[in-house]
Amino acid sequence: MEKIESFEQYQQIHKKSVENPEEFWAEIASTYSWKKQWDNVLDWEFDTPDVKWFQGGTLNITENLLDRHLASRGNKLALIWEPNDPKEKFVRYTYKELHEKVCQFANVLKNNGAKKGDRICIYMPMIPDLAIAVMACARIGAVHSVVFAGFSAHALSDRINDAACNIVITSDGLFRGAKEIPVKRVVDEALNTCDTVDKVIVAERVGWMPNMVEGRDVWLHDELEKADKYCEAEEMNAEDPLFILYTSGSTGKPKGIMHTCGGYMVYAGYSFKQVFQYDESDIYWCTADIGWITGHTYIVYGPLLNGATTVMFEGVPTFPDAGRFWQVVDKYGVNQFYTAPTAIRALMAHGVDHVLSYSLDSLKVLGSVGEPINEEAWNWYHIHVGKERCPIVDTWWQTETGGIMISGLGSSSPMKPAHAGYPLPGIQPVLLDKDGNEIEENGVEGYLAVKHPWPSMLRTIWGDHNRCQKTYFSHYNGYYFTGDGAKRDENGMYRIIGRVDDVINVSGHRFGTAEIENAINRNEKVVESAVVGYPHEIKGQGIYAYVVCSDVESDEEILKAEIIETVVEEIGKIAKPEKIQIVPNLPKTRSGKIMRRILRKIAEGDTSSLGDTSTLLDPDVVEKIKEGAKLLE
């Protein structure tokens, strides 16, 4: 697979990919190893939707991640693991070693009753066993469902039940910065309300002695001792599921986004290579957690498909101090560094001295993902980290897209602060007006949609294809709708504005407002609530909750603490509202619809232009909410 090395070359390749997508993708797919060649490159329609890539082809993605590299890169480093505490020893695996680890773990799964097609939930900290567990599932054709280890027992149990998982892989506990968290205890609590799980495999990380349920729970290290070091890779159809990953939408429960073996592989590998312009001897580091899509595609799958050396980091950017990222970059000589704007903003707040203490000479490409990067953060990243010599790739994509859709390609594309830029080859984004008409010209703004399938697009929502159709394919006929609004400048570069639905993006993590409201409403003192996002200096958006309580006599601070506690129990600490305002009522239209527009304005602190409030059932309530909001500032 050749790298695109100039903007002219990019333009030619993109043009070719639009004129003949099937030929384009077949050529890329043929650079991977398949057990059996496909019959059809693509069958599709976006109404139902029904999208199939490389039908008839069979493969196992782990043979492409590992076995394929053994002859030429067996002794090359595949994975470097940097622990939370810099004083602890790091771990390094060559391709040969990683292959053996994955095979052995795959045998542990088999020995514990796992079969092709089973769903296996992985709820683990960022330790090497997490990456190995993901690949071990893929090796035997089981579908992994990784749940970020910051979610609560309740959220975990919902996800286990939704996918009917029969095995959970976890750890005794985890280290995050100065904290130690009992992970296994969360699993135990979750399993009180799950009846499909018959085995829990526990990796040792912190050295605690968790409660081990006889007949159900086993230690990974004991199981590994009994497991063979070779495991044949299961033959999978291109369209067989590879994994499920839950993400939030504007309504209802989180959705299990399903990706398939063949198409996901082709796109993960291709996009990694082009965006990061990876060279054979480079060291690449993505700071995400494997619990999110960024970690799936750009810590595990994309880099290893390319035979790259990928760094996996257990810790946080500010532990033991705000120079940690840069210390690790220098320690390993990292060439490509991929992080989120929220981390950049948090580090900016600690001052530039932490960056200036390190050389950062090895860096070649910097990446950003998860949320719009504001110009100030972009400039700081560019000047202080990239020393104005490293291109920044601002990568726009989603859990649903499987891989990066709009982004610069290393230094082969022009860059502009806060602009994601141009679509990758094979990607056909469009801007639509509110009636669903494509806006052809440049210098415009619209709803961001995609008009042709790409190999790593979601195929369905696990167990609810109808919801998949309704969420992504029914707003605008014949298009995949992203839920984002975007601008296209005079030169055709895209700038993502943000969500146009009721999804809030907090530190690059998605939450549905309805999901947080449902959590808040479970507190028995709460009558109803409305959640909106507001601009937050570090997190991008913060969560602002307006809550109507039955017990108005209670101490407000205690009430608020209880509400936060409920959200932490229902979803996890990551969804904690920053601001809670107890209000006498919510602004509603006569038909009972909450006027979120008004609540958003008040949360933003912009109360001068609330628009027409005369259609409200009780216009006075707006004044009361405005007064209360001032007290929160």
End-to-end CA distance of the chain: 54
- Decide: is 413 part of the binding site for ligand PRX (CB under 6 A): no
The nearest distance, CB 499 to ligand PRX, in angstroms, is: 5
Select 231 or 377, whichever has its Cβ closest to ligand PRX.
377
Among 62, 306, 342, 395, binds ligand PRX (CB under 6 A): 395
| 3-class DSSP assignment, residue 127 | coil
The nearest distance, CB 103 to ligand PRX, in angstroms, is: 30
Sign of the CA dihedral with 426 first, then 427, 432, and 436 last: positive
The nearest distance, CB 142 to ligand PRX, in angstroms, is: 23
The nearest distance, CB 416 to ligand PRX, in angstroms, is: 13
Task: Round to whole Å and give the CA distance between 517 and 519.
Answer: 5
Query: In the range 239-278, which residues lie near ligand PRX by CB under 6 A?
Result: 247
- Decide: is 397 part of the binding site for ligand PRX (CB under 6 A): yes
Task: Round to whole Å and give the CA distance between 97 and 614.
Answer: 69
Query: In the range 8-27, which residues lie near ligand PRX by CB under 6 A?
Result: none
Select 217 or 394, whichever has its Cβ closest to ligand PRX.
394
Task: Round to whole Å and give the CA distance between 203 and 471.
Answer: 37
The nearest distance, CB 513 to ligand PRX, in angstroms, is: 14
Total binding residues toward ligand PRX, as defined by CB under 6 A:
23
Task: Round to whole Å and give the CA distance between 531 and 515.
Answer: 9
Select 172 or 484, whichever has its Cβ closest to ligand PRX.
484
The nearest distance, CB 124 to ligand PRX, in angstroms, is: 19
Select 419 or 560, whichever has its Cβ closest to ligand PRX.
419
Among 293, 312, 390, 543, binds ligand PRX (CB under 6 A): 293
Select 187 or 420, whichever has its Cβ closest to ligand PRX.
420
Select 324 or 510, whichever has its Cβ closest to ligand PRX.
510
Select 158 or 400, whichever has its Cβ closest to ligand PRX.
400
- Decide: is 370 part of the binding site for ligand PRX (CB under 6 A): yes
Select 315 or 408, whichever has its Cβ closest to ligand PRX.
408
> In this structure, are residues 622 and 599 in contact, taking their beta carbons and an 8 Å threshold?
no
Q: What is the DSSP letter of 396?
A: B
Question: Near ligand PRX by CB under 6 A, which window of 34-42, 68-76, 368-376, 551-559?
Answer: 368-376
Question: Near ligand PRX by CB under 6 A, which window of 40-48, 438-446, 458-466, 494-502?
Answer: 494-502
Among 125, 295, 410, 483, binds ligand PRX (CB under 6 A): 483
Per-residue mark of binding to ligand PRX, 311-350 (x: CB under 6 A): ----------------------------------------
- DSSP letters spanning 557-583: HHHHHHHHHHHHHHTBGGG--SEEEE-
Number of Cα atoms under 13 Å in the Cβ half of residue 64: 29
The nearest distance, CB 137 to ligand PRX, in angstroms, is: 21
Select 234 or 515, whichever has its Cβ closest to ligand PRX.
515
Among 64, 271, 306, 505, binds ligand PRX (CB under 6 A): 505
Number of Cα atoms under 13 Å in the Cβ half of residue 121: 32
Number of Cα atoms under 13 Å in the Cβ half of residue 584: 11
CA 591 to chain centre: 37
The nearest distance, CB 243 to ligand PRX, in angstroms, is: 14
The nearest distance, CB 619 to ligand PRX, in angstroms, is: 33
Q: At what angle do helices 21-29 and 261-276 cross, to 10 degrees?
A: 90
Q: Which stretches of 76-216 are assigned E, i.e. beta strand?
A: 77-82, 91-94, 119-122, 143-146, 167-171, 174-176, 179-181, 199-203
Residue of 585, 604, 578, 574 whose CA lies nearest to 529:
585
The nearest distance, CB 419 to ligand PRX, in angstroms, is: 9
Task: Round to whole Å and give the CA distance between 59 and 34.
Answer: 5
φ/ψ of residue 196, rounded to 5: -95, -15
The nearest distance, CB 163 to ligand PRX, in angstroms, is: 18
The nearest distance, CB 617 to ligand PRX, in angstroms, is: 32
Per-residue mark of binding to ligand PRX, 143-172 (x: CB under 6 A): ------------------------------
Task: Round to whole Å and give the CA distance between 406 and 393.
Answer: 9
Among 390, 420, 526, 582, binds ligand PRX (CB under 6 A): 420
Residues 6+ apart with CB under 8 A from 365: 276, 277, 335, 336, 337, 390, 391, 393, 410, 411
Among 152, 157, 274, 399, binds ligand PRX (CB under 6 A): 399
96's tokens: 């040969």
Question: Near ligand PRX by CB under 6 A, which window of 37-45, 144-152, 220-228, 496-504?
Answer: 496-504
Among 510, 539, 576, 601, binds ligand PRX (CB under 6 A): 510
The nearest distance, CB 376 to ligand PRX, in angstroms, is: 15
Long-range contacts from 590-597, C-beta under 8 angstroms, 24+ separation:
590/615, 590/616, 590/617, 592/617, 594/530, 596/502, 596/513, 596/530, 596/532
The nearest distance, CB 396 to ligand PRX, in angstroms, is: 4
- Decide: is 541 part of the binding site for ligand PRX (CB under 6 A): no
Q: In what order do the strands lie in the sheet with 91-94?
A: 91-94, 77-82, 309-313, 283-286, 336-339, 365-369, 392-395
The nearest distance, CB 288 to ligand PRX, in angstroms, is: 8
591's tokens: 């038909």
Q: Which stretches of 357-450 are assigned E, i.e. beta strand?
A: 365-369, 392-395, 429-432, 444-450
- Decide: is 107 part of the binding site for ligand PRX (CB under 6 A): no
| 3-class DSSP assignment, residue 65 | helix
Among 191, 299, 431, 496, binds ligand PRX (CB under 6 A): 496
The nearest distance, CB 380 to ligand PRX, in angstroms, is: 16
Among 499, 539, 560, 601, binds ligand PRX (CB under 6 A): 499
**What b/e readout covers 384-401, taking b as 16+ CB neighbours within 10 angstroms?**
bbbeeebbbbbbbbbbbb
Task: Round to whole Å and give the CA distance between 65 and 303.
Answer: 9
Q: What's the residue count for the chain?
A: 633
Q: Which residues contact ligand PRX by CB under 6 A?
A: 247, 293-294, 368-372, 394-399, 420, 482-484, 496, 498-499, 505, 510
